[in-house]
Structure 1
């Protein structure tokens, strides 16, 4: 599958500020950048730094009065569908060091407070069968509602409210998976059929020696998701972090299918 991605950002600033952008699709084994162009209007040099786990990159921007950025890309995705339920469990003692942070609670994913619920509700399941059950539970028990959460909403808040947007779905699934001793991380992504069209957040679960993409909102299929970056939670994968004060003027994200890979 090939995706066309177009992003436009326009923000005003009350005073000069440093801004960290993460909007470029990542070059990875299962997704190839055929074309990309990032244009940022600034009187200062733009510098790039690697994203978490060396996936994707972040750009440092110094903006005086406004941030105006345009991003365009064509991404070819070659990622087969995987039957999650068939994957075996990996004992936590067998996990490599870089995976350990994705087992632990983080700022927005309080997995330690959901361990009892996971044991009571999903006892007897393990591996892919457990992971699939967690995905299904999240999809079945949350209602997608724009504006139902704020930037400080955590997985535990979402668990109680049972409403949220893609970020909240991702946070809750990550927290549930970690509580079930399955490494899980949040993923910023682009995907078609996301409504309203915007930056999207999904989840990756570590099973059978690899990361597997899932979208608990049900809006995107793993075979059609283009990763931007990964991290413990929204702290690591925010498309824009402003070290100052910025006001939104205009923002648009358009993702469209071009064709299927042969």
Structure 2
């Protein structure tokens, strides 16, 4: 599948401000970058920095006044759909070292507070069967409501309020997977058919020896997702982190499937 992607950011900064951006689709074994371009208004000290997981880049820069950024790319996604429910869990003692950190609680994913819940309500299921059931449970029990959460909303808040956006749905699935002793990470992505069009977020779980994408909003399928980056939670893969007040002016994301 070929995806054509365009993202545009326009913010204003009254004073010189440092920014960390992570908005480019990454090169991985199952997605190929056919073409890509990123253009900025006037900036200072542009640097590319690697991420902890080695998936994608962080862009470090400084700007003042009107900041414009336009990113376009053509991505070939070569990922096949997988039946998550049929996959076994990888025993903790057999996990690769890089997966271990994704068992731990994090700022937005307090998985240690959900162990009793998953044991009592989903304890009859194991591995991928539990992940599939958890994803379906979130989709059926929680309402997708734009503007219903903010940058401080955790998976526990979402669990109580029973509503959120893709970020919150992903945080909750990551949390419940970790509470089930299955490594899970937050994954920022581009995907077509997301409504409203925007940067999207899904979960990625470690089953049967490798990582698998799961979207509890049901808006994106594994084979049509372009990964931007991964992290413990949204704090590690925010599309923009600003060290200075950012006055929002305009933002848009467009993802289409090439016929």
In the TM superposition, 1:121-136 aligns within 5 A as 121-136=121-136
Q: Compute the displacement of 1:66 (Å).
A: 2.5
Does residue 1:120 correspond to 2:141, yes or no?
A: no
Structure 2: runs of 5+ lacking an equivalent = none
- Per-residue CA deviation, residues 182-210 of structure 1 (Å, 9 max, x unaligned), is 10000000000001100000110000000
Q: Compute the displacement of 1:6 (Å).
A: 0.6
Does residue 1:45 correspond to 2:45, yes or no?
A: yes
Alignment-derived partner of residue 172 in structure 1: 172
Q: Compute the displacement of 1:123 (Å).
A: 1.1
Q: Assess if the C-alpha contact under 8 Å between 1:52 and 1:229 holds in 2.
A: no
Alignment-derived partner of residue 202 in structure 1: 202
Q: With structure 1 as the length reference, what TM-score do the two structures score?
A: 0.97
Determine the C-alpha separation between the residues in 1 that align with 2:239 and 2:208: 30
Superposed structure 1 runs of 4+ greater than 6 Å apart: none
Structure 1: runs of 5+ lacking an equivalent = none
Alignment-derived partner of residue 190 in structure 2: 190
Q: Assess if the C-alpha contact under 8 Å between 2:50 and 2:57 holds in 1.
A: yes
Over the aligned positions, Cα root-mean-square deviation in angstroms equals 0.8
Alignment-derived partner of residue 33 in structure 2: 33
Give the count of matched residue pairs: 259
Mean alpha-carbon deviation: is it higher for 171-180 or for 91-100? 91-100
Alignment-derived partner of residue 106 in structure 1: 106
Determine the C-alpha separation between the residues in 2 that align with 1:141 and 1:29: 34
Q: Assess if the C-alpha contact under 8 Å between 2:37 and 2:73 holds in 1.
A: yes
Alignment-derived partner of residue 241 in structure 1: 241
Q: Compute the displacement of 1:61 (Å).
A: 1.3
